Amino acid sequence: MEDELIWNDDSRALQDSEWSKLSSDFTNAGYREGITAGKESALQEGFDDGFATVGAPLGRELGLLRGMASALLSFLSRPANSEKQIALEEARDIVAQLGDVRFSDIVPPDLEAERHAREHLEAEREADDDADLEMNEELKEKRAVETLEDMMKRMGAGSISSVETQTTRPTIDDVRRLKERLVSLSEGIGIPLQWS
């Protein structure tokens, strides 16, 4: 009698655990294949979006400035313009500074990517919390915050540093200033510019 009860309990427990194993095995297998398929289905769409909305216009903007500055520098380097030393130096400096700008310096942050990264971070934290509930809550909190801070720092690296000198990376504001310098240099030597 007692034996039977125990057997029943065990059997029930066994059934439950078999059941949840079955459930999680198949769910996980589906998830794994789903994530791959989902990713592949969206890559091209993301690519086209990034190309058209950010990459091409941003690249063109910088390229235009570089091309114009380069042409102006060649023009001012001609012997006929040998009296325009100051303008020549200015052109040279603009060219050099524009040449230093990288894609990573001026690309705007991908907000959706950042939000998703934060979601992952939170999910990770929850998983950690579940795993060892009573373990050093404070430390984990701190670590997560630090990771976030690092991320924010990397994202915002540009905007704070523009006043500091050569050692920091140029920013989109620097590019804007270089554009103004280019325009006034060009107008200063009698070449009005029109922007397409």
Q: CB of residue 86 vs other proteins: minimum separation in angstroms?
A: 18
134-165 as b/e: b if 16+ CB within 10 A:
eeeeeeeeeebeeeeeeeeeeeeebeeeeeee
Q: CB of residue 185 vs other proteins: minimum separation in angstroms?
A: 11
CB of 21 closer than 8 Å to CB of 29: no
How far apart CA 73 and CA 62 sit, in angstroms, is: 16
Taking the least distance from each CB to other proteins, the nearer of 55 and 151 is 55
Q: CB of residue 137 vs other proteins: minimum separation in angstroms?
A: 28
Q: CB of residue 138 vs other proteins: minimum separation in angstroms?
A: 30
Phi, psi at 11, each rounded to 5°: -60, -40
**Residue 171 binds other proteins (CB under 8 A):** no
CB of 92 closer than 8 Å to CB of 73: yes
Q: Is 182 exposed, middle or buried (0-12, 13-18, 19+ CB in 10 A)?
A: buried
* Interface pick for other proteins out of 62, 172, 178, 185 (rule CB under 8 A): 62
Q: Write the binding mask 16 to 45 for other proteins: x where contact by CB under 8 A, - elsewhere.
A: ------xx-xxxxxxxxxxxxxxxxxxxxx
CB of 184 closer than 8 Å to CB of 172: no
Three-state secondary-structure class, residue 134: coil
How far apart CA 141 and CA 164 sit, in angstroms, is: 32
- Encoded amino acid at 174, one letter: D
Q: Write the binding mask 67 to 106 for other proteins: x where contact by CB under 8 A, - elsewhere.
A: xxxxxx-xx-----------------------xx-xx---
Taking the least distance from each CB to other proteins, the nearer of 138 and 166 is 166
With CB under 8 A as the rule, give the number of residues binding other proteins. Answer: 67
Taking the least distance from each CB to other proteins, the nearer of 43 and 145 is 43
Applying CB under 8 A, the residues found at the interface with other proteins are 22-23, 25-52, 54-72, 74-75, 99-100, 102-103, 107, 110, 112-113, 116, 186, 190-194, 196
